[in-house]
Amino acid sequence: MGLTGLLAKRLLRSVVVVVGVTIVTFATLHLGGDPTYLYVGEHASAEEIAATRVKLGFDQPLTTQYLRFAHGLAHGDLGDSLTFHEPALGVVLERFPATLELTLTALSLALAIGVPLGVFAALHRGRPLDGGIMLLALLGQSVPSFWLGIMLVLFVGLAWHWLPISGRVPLLDPLFAGDWRTAWTNLPQALPFLVMPSVTIAVFSLARTARLVRSSLLEVLSQDYVRTARAKGLSERRVIVHHALRNAWLPVLTMLGLEFGFLLSGVVVVETVFSWPGVGRLVFNAINHRDIPLVEAAVIVFSLLFVSVNLLVDLLYLRLDPRIRLA
């Protein structure tokens, strides 16, 4: 299959996934039977319930309801939030820059520290350094992120007063508005607030990245072409950088897309610990107020973003993997 065929197939898969996501979200809403009860208070009268049911269209056949839902979605209408009394999608998008800011910072941290650690461990395979790094990585994959956050708040924040335990100075919001000057002047104040939450979210991914990079590099190092490169008398440094790492980072690229989605999920819990004013804390409050449309909007926004990022990564992969590019 040519590159165009692969591209078309990959795009079609994304479309199928997006349609699937809308169907699953819709179906989840109807899992417990009539969803009207999710939209009214506990003490709603029978008339109120009936009126809400008609108003939200839950008296219609399921197919009609789904089509209405999909139609609304296509027009950016996901219903009104029960607590904010305004369009749920707007409420989610308004807080989205804060969450993206945290996710991207955490992803950068995970890569900037995890990749070198993994390479370092692979190059010292079997020695105590390798063992130490891998044990730390295993520990990093075993800590509940929100608990790590709590510990940081308790010790770094409350006991030693090194860093602020909650709050945020916006960076991405002014940037999205095209005002890079404000973003730049905000940067020094914003960083201290970013440190603890982003480290908390990054730890798991950092550990996983280190382990993946290590095993990926070790696998490449055992290949014939690496032996050939060594036999040619190339310096070890050249073998690693030009021959091994070039191929070892392809699995890491694939992981990047998945990791992004994983970090987005982690944000929900960690934002709650640090009172970070993003989508995560919004979802937490929505859980407490049983604000279904808001959670639904968050699920859809995150999923669409997730699907797009994975598509992007796969396209990059098609572009970068010489086995596919030159086929």
Partner 1 sequence: MSAAAVTPPIGAFTAGRRARRSLLRAKWPLLALALLLLITAAALFGPSVAPVDPNRQNLIARLQPPLAVDRRSHRVYWMGTDALGRDVSSRLLYGARISLAVGLVAVLVGGLLGTTLGMLAGYFGGTVDAGVSMVADVQLGFPFILLAIMFLLVLGPGVVNLILALGIGQWVTYARIARGQTVAQREKEYVEAARALGLGHGGILVSGILPNILAPLIVIASFNVASVILAEAALSFLGLGVPPTVPSWGGMLAESRDELLAGHWWLALFPGTAIMLTVLSFNILGDWLRDFLDPRLVAVT
How far from 280 is each of 66, 228, 269, 286, CA to CA, in Å? 27, 50, 7, 10
Q: Which is nearer to partner 1, 141 or 182 (CB)?
A: 141
Q: What's the token pair of residue 40? A: 């009214």
Cβ atoms of 273 and 146 closer than 8 Å: yes
- Cα–Cα distance between 312 and 77 in angstroms, integer? 26
295 binds partner 1 (CB under 8 A): yes
Q: Which is nearer to partner 1, 171 or 264 (CB)?
A: 264
- Measured from the CB of residue 220, what is the shortest distance to partner 1 in angstroms? 10
63 binds partner 1 (CB under 8 A): no
Please give the residues from 228 up to 267 whose contact with partner 1 meets the rule CB under 8 A. Answer: 251, 261-262, 264-266
CB-neighbour burial class of residue 276 (10 A; exposed 0-12, middle 13-18, buried 19+): buried
Q: Which is nearer to partner 1, 183 or 210 (CB)?
A: 210
Q: What's the token pair of residue 92? A: 């989610």
User: Is the sign of the CA dihedral 197, 201, 202, 204 positive or negative?
Assistant: positive
Q: Which is nearer to partner 1, 114 or 170 (CB)?
A: 114
Q: Which is nearer to partner 1, 156 or 175 (CB)?
A: 156
Q: Which is nearer to partner 1, 170 or 274 (CB)?
A: 274
69 binds partner 1 (CB under 8 A): no
- Cα–Cα distance between 249 and 209 in angstroms, integer? 11
Among residues 80, 173, 259, 296, the one that binds partner 1 under rule CB under 8 A = 296
Please give the residues from 147 up to 206 whose contact with partner 1 meets the rule CB under 8 A. Answer: 147, 150-151, 153-154, 158-159
273 binds partner 1 (CB under 8 A): yes
* Stretch near partner 1 under the rule CB under 8 A, chosen from 39-47, 89-97, 301-309, 316-324: 301-309
Helical axes 3-29 vs 62-74, angle rounded to 10°: 120
285 binds partner 1 (CB under 8 A): no
Q: What would the x/- binding string for partner 1 be over residues 13 to 32, using CB under 8 A?
A: x--xxx-xx-xxx--xx-xx
- Cα–Cα distance between 300 and 281 in angstroms, integer? 16
* Stretch near partner 1 under the rule CB under 8 A, chosen from 65-73, 87-95, 179-187, 279-287: 279-287
Cβ atoms of 267 and 92 closer than 8 Å: no
Strand partners, 80: 87
Cα 151 to chain centroid, rounded: 23
Among residues 290, 315, 316, 317, the one that binds partner 1 under rule CB under 8 A = 290
Cβ atoms of 174 and 200 closer than 8 Å: no
How far from 97 is each of 23, 29, 44, 265, CA to CA, in Å? 27, 27, 36, 15
- Chain residues binding partner 1 by CB under 8 A are 13, 16-18, 20-21, 23-25, 28-29, 31-32, 35, 38, 135, 138-139, 141-147, 150-151, 153-154, 158-159, 211-212, 215-216, 218-219, 251, 261-262, 264-266, 268-269, 272-273, 283-284, 287-288, 290, 292, 295-296, 298-299, 302-303, 306-307, 310
